[in-house]
Structure 1
Amino acid sequence: MADARKRIWVTRASPGAEATAARLTALGLQPVVAPLLQVRPIADARLDLTDVCAIAFTSANGVRAFAERAPERGFKVFAVGAATAEAARKARFSTVLSTDGDVAALARALASRRRELTGVILHPGAAEPAGDLAGELEAQGLAVRAVALYETVEAPLPEGFVEALPGFAAALLHSPKAARVLKDLLKAHPTPSLKVFGLSKAVIRPLQRTELAERAAAPEPNEPALLALLQRRLAASDAA
């Protein structure tokens, strides 16, 4: 029988959800993958590579969306976080530079290399991005072309899943949009015993007024920090 103290709801979209689940399993936890969102390509998106000197990715989904549409791999890539950088390397981009933190940190990293960025920085991403990288780059005086290549839409949950939520130790959130979907779900189906941990303060913010046993944000916007937070809070609950 599953130990409710170890059951963790992985809410992120595939294929990232499966990577998160593998990390949770390695920690001795019991992940249950049930995405709140699913990724869908934008069929009529126009990808213009004119004068592009570099590509800025803020998610592995952005990398995959670009790689599925364009064969070019010679551009220098700038990525937020290790996971996004690894996705770019797997997509066979030869030059990949990454930075920890958020889109503001990425914008500062790009600005520090402005002398070598003599064209347009392409930013392929979501229709509703979690952060405003284009605005951050423009504020740094850099030329940027943002293009939405995919969108995230609400995903149906398995039958009976909502009723089983009291049997979970916690849920993990990776985006503000997923948090908004969860907020609406919990408004219709209150689960005050649920603990929710988010990738950042921005991710967890939509749930400020939702009745929960606990809500907290990772100290750094990356999954290792999120999982470390989860482990600390679960350990504290066990000790109590």
Structure 2
Amino acid sequence: MRRVLILRPEPGAGRTAQAVARLGLEAVTHPLFAPQALDWTPPVAADFDALLMTSAHAARLTGPALAAYRALPAYAVGEATAAALRAQGFDRVVAGDGDASAIAARIAADGHRAVLHLAGTTVAPIAAGSLNITRIAVYSMASLPPDPALLRAAVPGSVLLVHSPRAGERLAAHVPTAVRAGLHVVAISAAALAACGAGWASATAPDQPRDDDMLALVLRLCEGSGR
């Protein structure tokens, strides 16, 4: 059975592990980061006509102040983020199925201009177009200490799932070049893939930054090698 190592933080790591198990593969979670809430000063809701969330962590870690924006139409980069917003009492949530630039284009197409973006300290570039986006960091990703268990778990033939460029950088720093030839990398985006460096048995990324598309690449890899 092919082993799949999931490096993203919880609770996303658990969701991905369940999806991997449903494919009949062995899932091992090994988060490289943990989200931490930040102190932030909520701006006046009336100054904005839409709310943008590009991470489910932001929805969970903003605290009680998030309730002040429930009257705004909310836009989420994907369904997981949309679900996190609904869990916080938002009943008007538009979920995208691409990247942050795609949902920004949807916001503009719906006629909004002043957008509040609650996010992490590290955000992928967004093509804002006609939007005036005010971004406030409400959480950060704290690096967890290097753990030798990752190298022990990464037996030859394993697939490593990389969900961010920062995770790719950490992975590249942690896995020696001599070990990489026996391991496969599936990253969520071209930027995350580039951050992983070279020397892997294979390294791919889907056209769209979606977990399901990453798992489709994993399954294709496994089927091509007879698992």
Q: TM-score, normalised by structure 1?
A: 0.86
Corresponding residue SS for 2:140: strand
1:174-213 equivalence runs, <5 A: 174-187=163-176, 190-207=179-196, 209-213=197-201
Report the 3-state secondary structure (helix = DSSP H, G, I; strand = E; otherwise coil) of the residue aligned with 1:101.
Answer: coil
Matches within 5 A, 1:129-208: 129=123, 131-133=124-126, 136-137=127-128, 140-167=129-156, 169-187=158-176, 190-207=179-196
| Equivalent residue, structure 2, for 1:79 | 76
After superposition, the Cα gap between the structure-2 partners of 1:219 and 1:132, relative to the gap in structure 1 and judged at 3 Å, is closer
Deviations 1:155-201 (A, max 9, x none): 13545332332255201011111011101112477332110101121
1:48 aligned residue: 43
Q: Distance in 2 between matches of 1:41 and 1:189?
A: 37
Structure 1 stretch displaced more, 65-74 or 217-226: 65-74
Match 1:36 to one of 32, 45, 58 = 32
Q: Which runs of 5+ in 2 are unaligned?
A: none
Give, in whole Å, the separation in 2 of the partners of 1:227 and 1:34.
17
The two structures have a TM-score, normalised by structure 2, of 0.91
Aligned to 1:92: 89
Q: Report the more deviating stretch, 163-172 or 18-27.
A: 163-172
Give CA deviations for 1:41-86 in whole Å, capped at 9, x if unaligned: 12x3222134122110111112212355432322211111222222
Deviation at 1:233, TM superposition (A): 0.7
Alpha-carbon distance in 2 for matches of 1:81, 1:160: 31
CA contact (8 A) 2:6 2:160 kept: yes
Identity %: 28
Question: Aligned equivalents of 1:67 and 1:237: distance in 2?
Answer: 46
- Classify 1:95/1:103 alpha carbon distance in 2 versus 1 (closer, same or farther; 3 Å): same
**Residue 26 in 1 paired to residue 19 in 2?**
no
8 Å contact from structure 2 (residues 77, 103) kept in 1: yes
Q: Structure 1 CA distance, aligned partners of 2:218 and 2:100?
A: 24
Q: For 1:56, what is the secondary structure of its paired residue?
A: strand
Structure-2 change in CA distance of 1:181 and 1:99 (3 Å): same
Aligned Cα root-mean-square deviation (Å): 2.0
8 Å Cα contact 2:177/2:199 also seen in 1 = no
Letter in 2 for 1:52: F
Contact residue 124 and residue 149 of structure 1 kept, 8 A: yes
